[in-house]
Chain A
């Protein structure tokens, strides 16, 4: 599904990703871990198409297409979804209006007819159950004045509505208490299928108790320095990142 080869990306003069290789197949869950500042969010942003970063080397194939050639909105329409570490406030636009625009633009891209108000109502109702989100939150301006938990829950709700092929969750666990964490993780698990894949970016292994990964990768200084199965996450939890750093540096 996703094939990243020797990906280098910089911002200004600073090289942040320094040769990433990663293969993700349908049905898999990959966890990307690593200390602060190692480039996890950068990788997620580059995949979603943020234009601040310049890709200087490497390729990214997504379902047979050259992902780096596509505008962010086209990537979304092809099935990429990024749950932001810091969801952005969209003043004056409610979640529902926002998602109606998004869904219908994606449908237009795919050559499908737009959905009408009745269909939306039905669909929203169905998806609201996934993350146990309240209608009142959806009619408020998106992310404006939302608590940390509400923002993350809203991200997963959007993911449920957009039904992506590849979901990238960037530190979706940060700032959540244990109950909120469980709800968010359950939402993600319900959305899992043999046809889609998930990349979970996290700093701690806590989230991985709920979303169990098939593979765990450690990102350090812009490279994947270690890959393994979920046991690697447990080892990191026990020993911290220092042993990896000392192995690499």
Chain B
């Protein structure tokens, strides 16, 4: 398979009050087209920083970041981002938030009716057609996050980047959205990079799990190939020994090899 996203020797430092802080050093990672990759690691290790470099929101200060064979030069709609706290614009309706993205990406080539159809299809994909005219503050946290996902998917990105998309939700809502995401990803064959700190979420969704060492100067520790067949079913996996094998491998990495000293 083709290398699609590629990080080669990527490093990133931040200037802080206490001086220069090296967040990432020598990160190497390749992601194939249509692959679902999770980044997992302890809080503050640099997962979001990796994602933001792929998004183009941060420039790496060492190494190179490529997407589709070209160097990543700033953010763009072909690398859509689902932000950690939904970041919907509060003065636009759910529909309006998606329309803003759709109009920008397809407005040059398509007419109003086609743009409208795209927005409606995106809302239907996340089961939110009924909330189309509601404002973000009028819907639940889970619904906001679904609108954020719909907005990103509606842009038909080459890569979907998600930063702890379900982190702020309760366990039941999270499970429902994970199941929805499994279906959407299987249907659209999207390339996805997802940051998470939830082991079950990583195993359920990913083709590969990238486990990061602790910072400062964090890097890729191990990569776990998850060979569970798709479609994946949460209930069936609960009694699957392979599933539990992957799960303990990740837990072992996080809590034996790279346990973070209590901060």
Answer whether A and B are interacting partners: no
